[in-house]
Amino acid sequence: MAVYVNVQIPNGKSGVAGPFDGRGQVQLMAVGIHVYASQNAASAATPQTLNSSQIKVFEQVILEGPGIGSGFFGLGKDAKAAISAPLTGINAIGDFFSRLTEASTWVRVGEFVAGGLLLYISGNALLRDTAAGNAVQSAKRTATKAIGATPPAQVARVRRATKQSIRAKRTAAKVRAKAKAKRS
């Protein structure tokens, strides 16, 4: 359900903005901004004066939101374009590298890695010694055979056998050479 707001910023500008989607609604309500079910209801309400923390969230929701109400600060439907311009070329590259130095980027990367590890560990624990786990192991063995991959222990046995057969061939060749030399 789309919602609308009627806000006033301390510099005196006011207007109706919206529609905002569910995520925008949650963000706006979390900082105490009143939301209305329709644009008419928002227009009929007295504008809410925002404090600095509410203004920051409001600007963020506008930049991420699906649309802007027609009367917001006199910008109409062009408000989103007026607030942000997309990064292109060298500016986008610079923005990417500047984000790498932000702590929040690395917190997100750490959360992603930790989540992946938790999923792996929990999946491994849940499937161990169960019918599903045995099926996975069976499928793994079948896939290993199908692609021709050999386990490391088998590779070691093949190497030893190959070395032994090479020695045996060399020894046999020497024995044949000696036997031939004796006959001559």
180 and 109 within one domain: no
Q: Which of 2-11, 62-71, 121-130 has the highest mean pLDDT?
A: 121-130
Whether 88 is covered by a domain: the verdict is no
In a domain, 132, yes or no: yes
User: What's the pLDDT score for residue 132?
Assistant: 82
Query: Which residues form the domain of 53?
Result: 3-83
Tens digits of residue pLDDT in 165-183? 888 888 888 888 888 888 8
Same domain, 72 and 112: no
Same domain (yes/no): 60, 99: no
CA 14 to chain centre: 38
Give all strands (DSSP E) within 34-175, no chain letters.
48-49
Single pTM value for the model: 0.34
**163 and 134 share a domain?**
no
3-state SS, residue 154: helix
Number of structural domains in the chain: 3
Same domain, 75 and 17: yes
Q: Work out the pLDDT band at 102, boundaries 50, 70, 90.
A: confident
Give yes or no: residues 72 and 106 share one domain: no
Average pLDDT across the chain, whole number: 75
Confidence of residue 63 (pLDDT cuts 50, 70, 90): low
Both tokens of 91, joined, read: 């500016």
The torsion of the CA quartet 68, 72, 78, 84, rounded to 10 degrees, works out to -80
CA distance 80 to 51: 21
Residue 65 lies in a domain: yes
Q: Is there a single domain that holds both residue 63 and residue 131?
A: no
Percent of the chain having pLDDT more than 90? Answer: 9
The domain boundary residue, chosen from 83, 107, 123: 83
50 in a structural domain: yes
Confidence bin at 51 (pLDDT 50/70/90): confident
